[in-house]
Each structure stands twice: as structure tokens, then as C-alpha cells.
Amino acid sequence: METPATLAKLMEHARLALELARLPVARLRFEQDRNPEGIRHAHALFTRPHARYKVFGNKTMGIALIDLAAFAGQPGGYLQQVRRSGHAGPQSRKAAARGYRLRRIDRNDHVDEIHAIHTSCEQRQGRPMDASYRVRREVFDNPPHFECHGVFDARDRLVAYCSMGRYGNFVATDQLMGYKNQDGIMYLLLLQIICRLIEEREMEYFMYDTFLGAQPGLRDFKRRVGFKPYRARYELV
């Protein structure tokens, strides 16, 4: 006979499976000509079994995506969408009003500043910082499909950054981190990156990891910025 705890677990799994089955599907393409070895490696990471939910691919269920193509090159439509959340837009504007600016960077020019960001807080989203972030990186790789954008304060100090890869018809965050403050810097970072991607009209989707397994605070942040959960179908070409 099943115990109450076992039944509750089975019911939770059934609820999760039903919820995931109802998600819209995004068809995401890995293009090897961007960087053959790096793209194949990324494809293997995205599609390997999920660490907790073995029946799913690592990044296939509950993926946090923004459909960039839906805005037809007009970032105003995206900004109007996030304005309805009543938070992301005002926070981004607050950061800009306080002198924060975004620009593309080479992480190797900001090794010490990035390390300072990584070690500025013992915990994030209620979890201890991964030990790998506490080790100072001497050199960052710059594969051809990767880029990084940083937010700088009025004194030209790096306060947040986002490294990301352009894999095919989608771009996905690799590392995204900043100082904890109330100035809205993370909203400024993502909103300006998203607006630029929409204007470029090269990418169809922007991915920020998954909703599945994310802490409530991080899930709420993603929704405020405009990310929605999807099921992903990958193709390697």
C-alpha cells in the first residue's frame, strides 16, 4: 500500500507533468558553423538528462524564453509588455537616471571587477554561492559565438554583467550577475540587451535558463522581465 507521502509525491509529479505538457513549444536551432566544437558541446549539455528529472532533457522543459521575433524589430512592443508588470520598466529607468550605462565588454579587461561581483555576497536566491565563483579567474575564454555586456555606474565601475552565446536562432545567457542593490541594475542590464536583440532581428528567442527548479524570487524576476515557460525542441545543423 502506498504511504501518504508517496501518494503526495506521485500526485505532485503528475501535476508537474500535466503542467509541462501544456507549455507552448519553441523550436531552437544549434548552428555548427558558428563554432563547430563549441556548438556541439553546448547541444550535448542542453539535451543531456536533467539532474533532477531524469526523463527530461537538461534544458527542454520549463525553459525561460522571450519570443523576440514576435516584436518584429520594434522594442517598443516589448517595453509596453513589461510595463504592464509595473516593475521592470520603472526599475530600469531608475537605474538609467542614476547614471548606470550598458556597454559590450571583454571579460578579460575586467577580471578583478568580475571577481569582486562574484565575492560580494555569500548567498543568492537563498542558496550559498557556488564555490567556483569564489575562485578568481585569470583568463576568460572568448569563443566566436559568445559575447558579454556590462553595466557601469557613474564612476565607470562594472556593477553587473551578462555573458551569453548565440547558438543559432536563439541566444542564451551563460553567466548573469551583479551587485545586490536597490538601483534596478539587473533590470537595466536585461531590458537593454533584449531591446538590442529585438532591433537586430537576427535571433528568434532569448533564453535565461529554466523556470523548472528556480527559486521563487528568480522565477518572479524572470516573469517581470518578460520570460515565459516553454518546452524546447532542439535541432543540430
Picking from 96, 224, 114, the residue whose alpha carbon sits closest to that of residue 208 is 224
- Nine-digit cell string for 222: 524572470
Rounded distance, CA 195 to CA 202, Å? 12
List the pLDDT tens digit at each of the 237 positions of the chain.
556 655 455 445 445 555 666 899 999 999 999 999 999 999 999 999 876 666 677 899 999 999 999 999 999 999 998 887 667 889 999 999 999 999 999 999 999 999 999 999 887 777 788 888 888 999 999 999 999 999 999 999 999 999 999 999 999 999 999 999 999 999 999 999 999 999 999 999 999 999 877 788 899 999 999 999 999 999 999
Task: For residue 140, tell me if it sits in a domain.
Answer: yes
CATH number of residue 159's parent domain:
3.40.630.30
In a domain, 20, yes or no: no
Q: Cα–Cα distance between 146 and 10 in angstroms, integer? A: 41
Residue 9 maps to a domain: no
Structural domain count, the chain: 1
Beta bridge partners of 178: 160
What's this model's pTM, rounded to 2 decimal places?
Answer: 0.89
130, three cell numbers: 557556488
Q: Does 2 fall in a domain?
A: no
Q: Under DSSP, is residue 52 helix (H, G, I), strand (E, B) or coil? A: coil
Q: Tell me which residue range forms the domain holding 120.
A: 26-236
Domain presence at residue 117? yes
